[in-house]
């Protein structure tokens, strides 16, 4: 008598078309499931770690942006103060020049008056 294959035996007993899984197949499938679970966990952990790193970098960059904004504000204030300072210096120089010009004119008038008095006294 010829021995029947596993499939034939299985069909005769269960009436199903697929043969029963051998221990080797069961172990292989459970191992692949196990590997997939590990890979998924590793992948999730990598994603989580990357997300945390990006969050940290974002926090650092936002802190740097705030500091940079503060520095830019201070720079703008310094520029404004320096422009006000230069304007004040220019106004001061202009006032000094105007006062010098007035004094020169007064001296010239006094010299002219003295010359007139001398010419009047000589006559």
19 CB burial (10 A radius; 0-12, 13-18, 19+):
middle
Q: Give the rounded percent of residues in the chain with a pLDDT score beyond 90.
A: 41
Tokens 């078309």, located at residue = 17
Domain membership flag for residue 60 = yes
Q: Name the average pLDDT for the chain.
A: 85
Q: Report how many domains make up the chain.
A: 1
Selected residue with higher pLDDT from 118 and 14: 118
- List all residues 6 or more positions away from 21 whose beta carbon is below 8 Å from its beta carbon: 29
Domain membership flag for residue 1 = no
Q: What is the mean pLDDT of residues 85-110?
A: 94
Please give the pLDDT value at position 122: 78
| Number of continuous H segments (helices) and E segments (strands) in the chain | 2, 0
Domain membership flag for residue 66 = yes
H or E, element range at 17: none
Instruction: Write out pLDDT tens, residues 25-64.
Output: 778 888 888 888 888 888 889 899 999 999 989 988 888 8
Cβ atoms 32, 46 nearer than 8 A: no
Domain membership flag for residue 14 = no
Please give the pLDDT value at position 1: 41
Domain membership flag for residue 2 = no
What is the residue range of 81's domain?
A: 20-122
Domain membership flag for residue 31 = yes
Domain membership flag for residue 8 = no
Domain membership flag for residue 82 = yes
CA 42 – CA 34 distance, rounded (Å): 12
Provide the token pair at 96.
């000094």
């Amino acid at each position: 008598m010829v021995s029947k294959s596993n499939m034939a035996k299985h069909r005769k007993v269960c009436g199903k078309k697929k043969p029963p899984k051998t221990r080797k197949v069961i172990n292989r499938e459970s191992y692949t499931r196990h590997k997939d679970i590990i890979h998924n966990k590793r992948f999730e952990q990598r994603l989580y770690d990357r997300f945390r790193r990006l969050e940290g970098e974002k926090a650092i960059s936002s802190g740097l942006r705030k500091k940079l904004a503060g520095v830019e504000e201070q720079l703008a204030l310094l520029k404004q103060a320096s422009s006000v300072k230069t304007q004040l210096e220019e106004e001061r120089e202009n006032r000094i020049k105007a006062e010098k010009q007035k004094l020169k004119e007064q001296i010239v008038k006094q010299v002219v008056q003295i010359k007139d008095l001398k010419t009047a006294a000589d006559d």
